[in-house]
Amino acid sequence: MLKKDSRIYIAGHKGMVGSAIMRALSKQDYPNRITRCHADLDLTQQCAVRDFFEQSEIDVVILAAAKVGGIWANNTYPAEFIYNNLMIQSNVIHAAYVTGVKTLLFLGSSCIYPKYTEQPIQEKALLSGPLEPTNEPYAIAKIAGLKLCESYNRQYGTDYRTLMPCNLYGPEDHFADKNSHVIPALIHKFHQAKLKQLPHVTVWGSGSPRREFLYVDDLAEACLHVLRQPQDTYHQGTQPMCAHLNVGTGKDLTIADLAQHIKEITGYSGSIQFDSNQPDGTLQKKLAIDRIQALNWQPRVSLEEGLQITYAWYQSKVSTD
């Protein structure tokens, strides 16, 4: 359970999610924040991770470090996605246990759920059907991390919790065309098209898949809120022997509608074309969030507001790269 004097290790503090968690911890006056950059600590190296934990007197771990990317990146680098994520989470979770860390939060992804499942997706849908092929290696790694937390709780009585967020976006995201997720990729495409006065922007896929999007600072707030819950209270919200809760907005929209929103926010005046030769991925991913809502958490930032904040950050940081 998170307390004001807890010594908190944030793995992946430089990434989009980790940066948002750092902002939330600072805003809410948690002073004892422990971080290491990749140059100082490679989380894929078991001995280095074990040494770090033995030296750091950690009370709480927030595991936000991961190799992430969109459909193209997952399709192109499947071995890297499964290997790096398996190594990072296995090393951190095991080192936490060995050094006596009782509280840990692992961040997964909604891609753990089957490609075809009832909407909105409940936590119990896990492992009830085949995964989306385009990101299966990443999903399998995240499922393994979730099950690792469950297994340590079951065998050793630890309090390792897991949140499964929907699609995330916000400051510090990756805005390259191919490796990025859909929102940063579209922001970059529409902004560059506006600057170059291009007649149209091409969006991958048919535009018909539906997606749910959560502003990253809302996820950060959810992380701290969940960690503050007493152990019994948190685990009452999960399935038996289960460590995970969904976190999202409860609302989704088509990729075509998302593209239109981003077109308007960036001020692009051309047309939108869809390339149906490119993969759509899962047709719909909308999470059931009643369990985390029962813990009195709600998202605060609307999609329109979040997109505006993200575009402003993009303009100030990376639009001329």
Query: Is residue 165 marked as binding?
Result: yes
pTM for the model stands at 0.95
Residue whose token pair is 């959560």: 214
Residue 167, annotated ligand binder? yes
Label residue 237 by pLDDT band (50, 70, 90): low
> DSSP H helical segments within 68-118, as ranges?
71-76, 78-98
Q: What residues pair up with 263 in beta bridges, in sequence order? A: none
Residue 321 is predicted with a pLDDT of 53
**Among positive and negative, which fits the CA dihedral 7, 9, 15, 18?**
negative
- pLDDT score for 242: 64
286 known member of a binding site = no
| pLDDT score of 125 | 96
129 is in an annotated binding site: no
Q: What is the DSSP letter of 215?
A: E
Average pLDDT over residues 280-301: 94
**Residue 261: phi, psi to the nearest 5?**
-60, -45
285 is in an annotated binding site: no
Are the C-beta atoms of 188 and 266 separated by less than 8 Å?
Answer: no
> Is residue 77 annotated as a catalytic residue, yes or no?
no
The catalytic position among 138, 152, 215, 268 is: 138
Helix, strand, coil share of the chain (percent; to 5): 45, 15, 40
Compute the average pLDDT of residues 121-140.
95
Q: What percent of the chain has pLDDT over 90?
A: 87
Each residue of 72-101: pLDDT tens digit?
A: 888 899 999 999 999 999 999 999 999 999
pLDDT digits (tens, 9 = 90+) for 168-191: 999 999 887 667 889 999 999 999
> Do the annotations mark residue 142 as ligand-binding?
yes
CB 224 within 8 A of CB 17: no
Per-residue CA distances from 144 to 90, 109, 138, 140, 147 (Å): 9, 12, 10, 6, 5
Q: Is the pLDDT of residue 243 over 80?
A: no
Please give the Cα distance from 236 to 47 (Å, whole number): 35
pLDDT digit string (tens) for 215-234? 999 999 999 999 999 988 88
> Which candidate, 69, 65, 161, 167, places its Cα nearest to that of 110?
167
174 is in an annotated binding site: no
For the chain, domains (ranges, CATH) are 8-172+212-248+286-301 (3.40.50.720)
The response to whether 181 counts as a known ligand-binding position is yes
Q: 251, 218 in Cβ contact below 8 A? A: no
Per-residue pLDDT at 155 exceeds 90: yes
pLDDT at position 317 over 90: no
> What does the pLDDT look like over 259-272, one tens digit per residue?
999 999 999 999 99
Q: 107 and 222 in contact (C-beta within 8 Å)? A: no
Residue-wise pLDDT for 13-72, tens only, equals 999 999 999 999 999 999 999 999 999 999 999 999 999 999 999 999 999 999 988 888
